[in-house]
Amino acid sequence: MAHYQVILSYDGTEFHGFQRQGNERTVQLEVENALRRMGWEGRSILASGRTDTGVHASGQVITFDLNWAHSVETLQRALTAHLPVDIGVKAASVVDETFHPRFDALSRTYRYQIYFQPFRDPLRDRYAWRLWPKPQSGLPHEAAALFMGSHDFRSFGSPMKPGGNTIRVVTGSDWSETPEGWTYEITANAFLYHMVRRIVYMQILTAMQKMAVTDLQKCLEQSTPSLPGMAPANGLVLYSVEYANENGCRKDLENLDKQDNCNETSK
């Protein structure tokens, strides 16, 4: 029996989120069904976090115990063969049995994609929020900077459990522009339910000059209720999860293939 870590990517369009919900089609349900076809007898896989309905991932981390008599590479191929085409296995490795993909994570990074076009584009709409007209004020860098540091984000999301902690530490928050549109990237130790989509929505309101940056700052600093609404799920991607190994080296899962010798263990 070994403790395996697997990095998943998936198109969230046809899923009711990551977490298993009865017979609803979720990423967790599909992965566990695939593992059972490979002889897995566990009750539940563990994951770095839950993505909502329609949200995508390029760096979701899961773990499970499995009696597997073959190589890790063979495990990756076998799991891929048993999964539907909208879930991919980016990497697989054996990790310390105490490693937990959620509790041992140092940070998570999400990306949100926006494009500007007067008419819908079915080839882009699965993965980006279409807006028109394009805000003339440009990228909302000032608004993005407000979220840096430790804040109570109760105005922008809710904890998974009633009464849970709503303080989060954001270490990265910025926008970039490409010929395809705008991309927002945010990194934090953890996120509240719907937090990223509300943050994106509020920043876009400032870019469209429908809300003052000072009002956004007040929502954040005084934990006052934010305006209703949030960005659509289809533009959001769980991009990566970062861990530290026993030697304290930080490891971005985006570069996992380049750092195979830096095995991840629990903190």
The amino acid at residue 264 is E
β-bridge mates for residue 61, sequence order: 7
Measured from the Cβ of residue 42, the count of other Cβ atoms closer than 10 Å reads: 12
- Residue that is written with structure tokens 């076009």 in the block: 117
- Whether 52 is catalytic: yes
The C-alpha torsion from 94 through 95 and 100 to 104, rounded to 10°, is -130
- Annotated catalytic residue: which of 11, 52, 104, 257? 52
Residue 28: CA count within 13 A, CB half-sphere:
24
Euclidean distance between CA atoms 263 and 89, whole angstroms: 18
Residues with a known catalytic role: 52
